[in-house]
Amino acid sequence: MVGEHLPTTVALLRGINVGGRHAVAMPDLAACLADAGLGAARTVQQSGNVLLAADPASGPDLEGTIEAALADRFGFAVPTLVRSRDELAATVAAAPPDHGSDALRSEVFFLKAPLTAREVLDAMPELRDGVDAVATGPGAVYFSRVAAQARRTRIQRLMGMPVFRQMTVRSWRTTTRLLALLDEPLPGA
């Protein structure tokens, strides 16, 4: 695609526009990142998904740049996780075969380095047999629960633990949509 810039990186922002806290309008978010020198950005949904044409090799540095820009502009910390297109594709490819099936409610818990899946599993509270399922993948933990019994899940216990602050959660549908969008040109790029 001559003259078109494909996004190469997705930034996953944690904790914005959730439960009425840390409200950030998506046009303001895109402008903040452009002002920080990150070029064209495409926001996806209201929950802090940003596609960027940024060097995927600059992961931790890019996370720090985004976090600093957001703190300066909005006045609160926004933990940010960055994944290249290839990293996100590897996470999607490594998911359990039934992850995302209609019978399940499925999410991806993306881990902020240096947090590892082993550390998350070690901290994981006891989940409900026959309801909850957990698997690990590259930079992520896959969590699903039987849709018909979703109210019986115990995953909220993990969400109340300190280790949860080093993660951000996306539904399986959002995760696969972000991967598909990484193959489309960025508007305005």
Domains of the chain: 9-85 (3.30.70.1280), 89-177 (3.30.70.1260)
Locate 60 and state its tokens. Answer: 């931790």
pLDDT at 18 (0 to 100): 67
The one-character DSSP state at 184 is S
Terminal-residue alpha carbon distance, the chain: 12
pLDDT at 45 (0 to 100): 83
Low-confidence ranges of the chain (pLDDT < 50): 1-4
Tell me how far apart the 2 most distant CA atoms of the chain are, in Å: 52
pLDDT at 42 (0 to 100): 87
**Predicted structure pTM score:** 0.89
pLDDT at 16 (0 to 100): 82
CA distance 25 to 70: 12
Please tell me whether the peptide bond between 114 and the residue prior to it is cis, using omega within 30 degrees of 0: yes
pLDDT at 56 (0 to 100): 62
Whether the Cβ atoms of residue 147 and residue 105 lie closer than 8 Å to each other = yes
CA distance 39 to 76: 22
